[in-house]
Amino acid sequence: MEKSSKFILIAIIGTISFGSFFLYYFGLIPGLESPFSPNNSDIGDPLSSVENITLIIDYDNGTIKTKEDFTLDGGKTSVFDALDKWCEIKYMTYSGERYFITEIDGVSGSWIYKVNGELPPIAANYCYLEDEDEIEWIHVG
């Protein structure tokens, strides 16, 4: 096999692998549920109100924004709702109703979030908070 044929074969395999991962990750393969699916067993019901919430945003540029001891109510008690309350955000929807944050306060790129130091396996708009939870959004590129 020629050297250029090997590179083409590797490129094709890589493209198929990446494409399959992308489709799985965003729940676009019929019959296969993504870990970010809203049907995930980790999803509970939103509380009508949560208190003593802390929100930390690490912009990865030396700036960290913190909002402490606030309340969310009216059934809008998800991680997304907390972020939306205190920040200017942009997001896109994927697989129907799940939100993917693309920009916080003018800083665009990839963002991840933690609740009480752990990475939840669900989209932010389906991760419901409890009293005294701490949310941390981290810009990762």
Encode pLDDT of 55-110 as tens digits: 999 999 999 999 999 999 999 999 999 999 999 999 998 877 889 999 999 999 99
Top-confidence residue, 127 or 45: 127
Using an 8 Å Cβ cutoff, are 108 and 60 in contact?
A: no
pLDDT of residue 118: 95
- Indicate the fold that domain 49-139 takes in CATH: Ferric Hydroxamate Uptake Protein; Chain A, domain 1 (2.170.130)
- By the 8 A CB rule, do 33 and 39 touch? yes
pLDDT for the residue 96? 73
Residue ranges of the domains in the chain? Answer: 1-32, 49-139
Classify strands 107-108 and 89-94 as parallel, antiparallel or unpaired: unpaired
pLDDT at 27 over 70: no
Q: What is the mean pLDDT of the chain?
A: 84
User: Taking residues 12-24, what's their average pLDDT?
Assistant: 65
At 45, the pLDDT band (50, 70, 90 cuts) reads: confident
pLDDT, average across residues 116-122: 93
Q: What angle do CA 100, 106, 108 make, to 5 degrees?
A: 45
Using an 8 Å Cβ cutoff, are 67 and 55 in contact?
yes
